[in-house]
């Protein structure tokens, strides 16, 4: 053990550079490229604000990811609680002093960037809980104390995000947390029962939803009941995807987006545009790239020595998978519309920042895969 | 050790759960892919259609209506480009703003503005609101220059009806106006081609030939964005213009008829006695059909509707008049044909002091002093009533009605071309029994002999009757469309038993116009090129009482509605007849003084125009 530590400490820059996961890196680069091309298309075939901004963010955050991957995983382990606390503080700040846009307070003005702490929380909650369960003995995982603690860890930021209000992100935060609990070994019956309770209490939950949220659920069940209002997005999105066909309408030829039938095409509905222009083949290709990325993340976890690194990688990979699934299901009309970006593809600085930090930590686990954490 | 084994348990549990999730992930991924497959491959066609429907709008433009031409190819109903402004309320984001902008740009009056707002409330949001239907170019271009600011506002170049001859052809052509709900519901063709602002024929030939005139819509396909804003034109399919319909009418003669009837209520019909071609058919007073194209104003409409001379009625076809003495040629012909009288049959007309008396009823000749002994030719010339009372008495109404019907009285002349044409009425004993349930009485026969009583004719029927007398007694079918190919088996079949009888009647009519003491002698044309034969008629509107006879008032002393109708029928040129005409002037007084002089003017022109018509025909053949 000692030797390993020593060996690790001796790791120089070039050794670290050589141990980066290049498959993962290339996939992320390809994804970034696809994302930029799609953004260019949403701008109507011109380099406008979104494309330019997305490009800069991608370059900055991608470089940042590489830097993070060079930092020892121990550092991220030690940062677990603190980072969570800082983001929580930011969320409280947001609720009180955040920037209001279209009825919700989600952002902190950092002058160079409008930061959305809730997006960061999706990653740092994993970090925090991974650290929490790292040293815990198996028999304690299902203890009342542990469960209470982790539920509080999940519930506090979640409720802060709900009051922004941002139902989608708060759900994603909760999912990120629950995923860690699943990997940490929380008794499966808890998951089973809570699913059951959720389903049973669904009507009660719905009665507490805001009118627009209720409308979304009803609209999801039958988009045609309000084709020009709440159902519009889902109908137009399905039309865009469906009309893409096998080969797609071709790059820059997606009429649905070009003629502005697609709402939120830069953000949550970016896949719709991509799918319209590149068709079934393009979509499956995109899914393949995502699958490789997730596979690599999980593989890094599997090859890591430390429980913390494994837990983080598995949870992060699974969370990313769930984000993708939720976004696509929503766009394809399989789930109600909740605000949920498609990792890296969607326009949005905070989301990309958080995702890249996540990949950075994963990569750090790779470069420090022999590192064990006491 | 415990620590290590616990760590191993933890790692095992972690990996096992990862395995479970990985399996789940693959299944979920499969679900997403199959959903993509379903949408993009299986349902692709459906969504592609929906996507096209999203972005492609079709805009039907009003079809271009076919023209009407007169015989010489002059356009008597054409089209002009009307600059219109349409708004589709649904496509307007801020209707208040837009409508006030439009008001400002077009300089609309408060009244017009309120009318538009009212109309907006009446239509559905996706229906077109026509804000202005006939803008001048200046205002139209002004709107075009401000379009960037006026979302949902559509400047439209619409084709609208134009009647260059204004009131001259109104009763023949009818007029077009906005299609209303009833038009759409009752006419499949209109329903199919309907677009806001579509004009359809409301009366006359415009209505009867709707199907041939309407043409087909031009269709424009263009791409729109989600806000309905037009992005680009994808296709333009030009519709076909409706059929051009050429009429037999000569505009010059039609115009003359209009002029002759100015300030009068009545009708003039002119017909080719061989082809049946209508050369002129005018009903007076008329009105300008152009007023109806964009909707007539309430004031103007009231003025037309309340005019006691009834401008809306096509008197040539729907006016039922007692023919008065214009029936006498038929009475004479019928009597000759039935050999009730001979050419030399003579009756003594003794004047008012000694009227014909039958079963306690007295029957007066119009001439107070009486005509003395008159034969057929003389009786016709001087229009002696007593003579025709006697002839009718001998002939009987049933035999008279057979001849009258043969010559076209009592039935529609144009079959179904005009929906407002009246049948008139030729009575006989059977008719009276069926219609009124009473027996015919002899007195009724007597007055039928001078065209009074039950008998009712339309001016076009009188014209046809005259034409058939003039052409030697052959059946013809009047037509108003030049290239009308209708075939009638009985065309040109003789309507007489003995052609000599027709000659006798023609000669009697000639004497009436061209010999001294003839009722229309003062209207004669001496030049044999123009010379015509005619018969006057004065039909009573009100039964003449003994008191009236004593008062013997002049026409202008009698209230307008009680004055006699003045009639005149004629054909010419006498040497080689070609045209027949009928003139009626409602409440004009005596036919000889009021109606016959018009024929003089008409024949001058008709004969002159005949040459032009013939040359035009020949040239046409040369062109081929």
Residues of B with CB under 8 A from a CB of A: 6-7, 9-11, 13-15, 17-18, 21-22, 25, 28-29, 31-33, 35-37, 39-41, 43-44, 46-48, 50-51, 54-55, 223-227, 231
Burial class (CB in 10 A: 0-12, 13-18, 19+), B340: middle
Q: Which of the residues A227, A243, A250, A288 would you substitute to probe the B interface, choosing the one with the greatest number of B C-beta atoms within 10 Å?
A: A243
- Chain A contacts of B9, Cβ < 8 Å? 138
The pLDDT > 70 percentage for chain A reads 94
- Chain A contacts of B57, Cβ < 8 Å? none
A329 touches chain B (CB under 8 A): yes
Cis peptide before B573 (omega within 30 of 0): yes
A331 touches chain B (CB under 8 A): no
The torsion of the CA quartet B599, B605, B607, B612, rounded to 10 degrees, works out to: -160
Q: How confident is the model at residue A219 (pLDDT cuts 50, 70, 90)?
A: confident
* CA distances from residue A315 to A294, B288, B381, B413 in whole angstroms, order as listed: 11, 86, 122, 96
pLDDT of residue B621: 60
- The neighbouring-strand residues paired with B68 are B77, B245
Residue B135 — φ and ψ, nearest 5°?
-85, 155
Indicate yes or no: CB of A242 within 8 angstroms of CB of B36: no
pLDDT of residue B315: 95
Is the pLDDT at A18 greater than 60? The verdict is yes
Q: How confident is the model at residue A9 (pLDDT cuts 50, 70, 90)?
A: very low
Cis peptide before B285 (omega within 30 of 0): yes
Residues near A35 by Cβ (< 8 Å), separated by ≥ 6?
Answer: A54, A58, A270, A344, A345
pLDDT of residue A374: 63
Residue B13 has its nearest CB partner, among A185, A284, A302, at A185
Is the pLDDT at A68 greater than 90? The verdict is yes
Q: How confident is the model at residue A225 (pLDDT cuts 50, 70, 90)?
A: low
Q: How confident is the model at residue A320 (pLDDT cuts 50, 70, 90)?
A: very high
pLDDT of residue A224: 66
Over residues A23-43, mean pLDDT: 94
Q: How far is A11 from chain B (nearest CA, A)?
A: 26
Summarize pLDDT for A240-265 with one digit per residue, the tens. 999 999 999 999 888 887 777 887 88
Got the DSSP string for A21-67? -HHHHHHHHHHHHHHHHHHHHHTTSS--HHHHHHHHHHHHHHHHHHH
Over residues A110-124, mean pLDDT: 89
Summarize pLDDT for A154-172 with one digit per residue, the tens. 999 999 998 888 888 999 9
Q: Which of the residues A257, A259, A265, A334 would you substitute to probe the B interface, choosing the one with the greatest number of B C-beta atoms within 10 Å?
A: A259
Place of tokens 């076809």: B317
State both tokens at A224: 């045609």
List for chain B the helix, strand, coil content (%; round to 5): 45, 20, 35
Q: How far is A89 from chain B (nearest CA, A)?
A: 31
Question: What does pLDDT average to over chain A?
Answer: 87
Q: Which of the residues B8, B11, B29, B39 would you substitute to probe the A interface, choosing the one with the greatest number of A C-beta atoms within 10 Å?
A: B39
Which residues of chain B have a pLDDT value below 50?
1-2, 624
Q: Are B446 and B171 in contact (CB under 8 A)?
A: no
Q: How far is B132 from chain A (nearest CA, A)?
A: 30
pLDDT of residue A226: 62
Got the DSSP string for A152-203? HHHHHHHHHHHTTT-HHHHHHHHHHHHHHHHHHT--HHHHHHHHHHHHHTHH
CA separation for the pair A70, A13 (Å, rounded): 8
The phi-psi region of residue B188 (left if phi > 0; otherwise alpha if psi is between -120 and 50; otherwise beta) is alpha
Indicate yes or no: CB of A245 within 8 angstroms of CB of B48: yes
Over residues A272-281, mean pLDDT: 94
Summarize pLDDT for B465-506 with one digit per residue, the tens. 999 999 999 999 999 998 888 888 888 999 999 999 999 999
Give helix A307-331 / helix A167-184 axis angle, nearest 10°: 140
A239 touches chain B (CB under 8 A): yes
Indicate yes or no: CB of A280 within 8 angstroms of CB of B22: no
Chain A, nearest residue to B43 by Cα:
A242
Q: For residue A236, which of A245, A246, A228, A225 has the smallest C-alpha distance? A: A228
Q: Which of the residues B14, B31, B227 would you substitute to probe the A interface, choosing the one with the greatest number of A C-beta atoms within 10 Å?
A: B14
């Amino acid at each position: 053990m000692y030797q390993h530590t020593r060996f690790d400490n001796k790791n120089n820059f070039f050794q670290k550079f050589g141990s980066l996961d290049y498959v993962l890196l290339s996939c992320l680069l390809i994804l970034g490229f696809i994302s930029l091309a799609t953004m260019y298309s949403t701008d109507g075939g011109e380099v406008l604000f979104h494309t330019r901004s997305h490009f800069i963010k991608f370059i900055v955050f991608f470089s940042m990811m590489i830097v993070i991957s060079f930092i020892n995983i121990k550092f991220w382990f030690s940062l677990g609680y603190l980072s969570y606390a800082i983001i929580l503080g930011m969320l409280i700040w947001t609720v009180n002093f955040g920037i209001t846009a279209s009825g919700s307070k989600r952002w902190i003005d950092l002058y160079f960037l409008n930061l959305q702490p809730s997006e960061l929380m999706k990653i740092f909650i994993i970090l925090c809980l991974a650290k929490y369960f790292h040293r815990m003995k198996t028999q304690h995982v299902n203890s009342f104390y542990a469960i209470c603690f982790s539920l509080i860890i999940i519930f506090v930021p979640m409720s802060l995000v709900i009051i922004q209000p941002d139902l989608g992100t708060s759900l994603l935060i909760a999912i990120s947390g629950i995923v860690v609990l699943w990997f940490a070994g929380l008794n499966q019956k808890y998951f089973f029962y809570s699913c059951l309770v959720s389903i049973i209490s669904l009507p009660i939950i719905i009665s507490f939803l805001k009118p627009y949220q209720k409308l979304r659920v009803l609209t999801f069940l039958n988009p045609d009941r309000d084709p020009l209002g709440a159902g519009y997005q889902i109908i137009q999105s399905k039309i865009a995807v469906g009309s893409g066909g096998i080969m797609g309408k071709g790059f820059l030829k997606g009429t649905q987006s070009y003629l502005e039938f697609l709402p939120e095409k830069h953000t949550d509905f970016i896949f719709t545009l991509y799918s319209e222009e590149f068709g079934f083949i393009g979509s499956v290709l995109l899914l393949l790239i995502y699958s490789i990325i997730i596979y690599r993340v999980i593989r890094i976890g599997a090859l890591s020595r430390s429980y913390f690194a494994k837990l983080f990688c598995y949870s992060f990979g699974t969370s990313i998978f769930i984000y993708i699934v939720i976004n696509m299901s929503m766009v394809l009309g399989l789930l109600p519309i909740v605000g949920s970006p498609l990792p890296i593809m969607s326009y949005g600085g905070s989301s990309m920042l958080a995702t890249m930090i996540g990949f950075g930590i994963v990569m750090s686990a790779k470069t420090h895969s022999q590192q064990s954490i006491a | 050790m415990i620590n290590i084994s616990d760590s191993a348990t933890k790692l095992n549990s972690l990996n096992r759960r990862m395995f479970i999730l990985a399996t789940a992930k693959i299944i979920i991924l499969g679900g997403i892919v199959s959903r993509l497959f379903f949408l993009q491959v299986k349902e692709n066609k459906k969504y592609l259609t929906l996507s096209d429907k999203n972005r492609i709008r079709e805009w039907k433009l009003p079809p271009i209506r076919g023209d009407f031409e007169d015989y010489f190819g002059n356009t008597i109903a054409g089209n002009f480009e009307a600059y219109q402004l349409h708004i589709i309320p649904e496509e307007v984001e801020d209707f208040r703003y837009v409508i006030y902008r439009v008001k400002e740009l077009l300089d609309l009056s408060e009244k017009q503005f309120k009318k538009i707002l009212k109309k907006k409330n009446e239509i559905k949001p996706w229906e077109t609101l026509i804000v202005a239907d006939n803008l001048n170019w200046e205002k139209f271009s002004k709107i075009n220059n401000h379009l960037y600011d006026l979302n949902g506002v559509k400047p439209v170049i619409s084709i609208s009806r134009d009647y260059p001859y204004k009131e001259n052809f109104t009763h023949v052509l009818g007029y077009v106006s906005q299609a209303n709900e009833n038009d759409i519901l009752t006419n499949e063709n209109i329903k199919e081609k309907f677009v806001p602002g579509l004009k359809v024929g409301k009366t006359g030939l415009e209505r009867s030939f709707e199907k041939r005139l309407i043409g087909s819509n031009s269709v424009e396909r263009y791409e729109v964005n989600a806000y309905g804003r037009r992005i680009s034109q994808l296709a333009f399919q030009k519709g076909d213009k409706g059929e051009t319909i050429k009429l037999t009418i000569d505009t010059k003669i039609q115009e003359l008829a209009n002029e002759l009837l100015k300030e009068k209520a009545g009708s003039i019909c002119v017909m080719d006695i061989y082809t049946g071609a209508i050369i002129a058919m005018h009903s007076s007073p008329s009105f300008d059909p152009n007023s109806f194209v964009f909707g007539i104003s309430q004031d103007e409409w009231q003025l037309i509707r309340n005019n006691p001379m009834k401008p809306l009625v096509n008197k040539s076809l729907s006016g039922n008049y007692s023919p008065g003495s214009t029936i006498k040629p038929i009475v004479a012909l019928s009597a000759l044909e039935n050999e009730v009288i001979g050419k030399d049959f003579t009756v003594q007309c003794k004047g008012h002091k000694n009227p014909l008396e039958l079963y306690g009823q007295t029957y007066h000749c119009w001439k107070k002093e009486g005509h003395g002994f008159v034969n057929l030719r003389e009786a016709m010339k001087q229009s002696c009533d007593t003579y025709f009372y006697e002839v009718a008495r001998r002939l009987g109404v049933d035999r008279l009605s057979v001849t009258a019907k043969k010559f076209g009285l009592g039935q529609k002349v144009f079959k179904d071309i005009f929906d407002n044409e009246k049948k008139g009425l030729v009575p006989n004993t059977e008719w009276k029994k069926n219609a009124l349930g009473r027996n015919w009485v002899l007195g009724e026969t007597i007055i039928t002999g001078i065209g009074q009583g039950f008998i009712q004719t339309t001016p076009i029927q009188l014209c046809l009757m005259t034409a058939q007398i003039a052409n030697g007694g052959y059946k013809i079918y009047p037509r108003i469309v030049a290239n009308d190919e209708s075939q009638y088996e009985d065309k040109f079949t003789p309507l007489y038993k003995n052609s000599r009888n027709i000659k006798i009647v023609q000669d009697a009519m000639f004497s009436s116009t061209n010999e001294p003491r003839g009722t229309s002698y003062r209207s004669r044309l001496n030049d044999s090129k123009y010379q015509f034969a005619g018969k006057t008629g004065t039909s009573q509107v009100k039964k003449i009482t003994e008191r009236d006879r004593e008062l013997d008032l002049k026409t202008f002393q009698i209230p307008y509605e009680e004055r006699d109708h003045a009639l005149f029928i004629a054909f010419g040129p006498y040497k080689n007849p070609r045209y027949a005409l009928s003139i009626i002037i409602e409440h004009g007084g005596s036919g000889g003084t009021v109606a016959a002089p018009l024929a003089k003017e008409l024949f001058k022109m008709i004969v002159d125009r005949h040459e032009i018509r013939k040359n035009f025909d020949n040239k046409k053949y040369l062109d081929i």
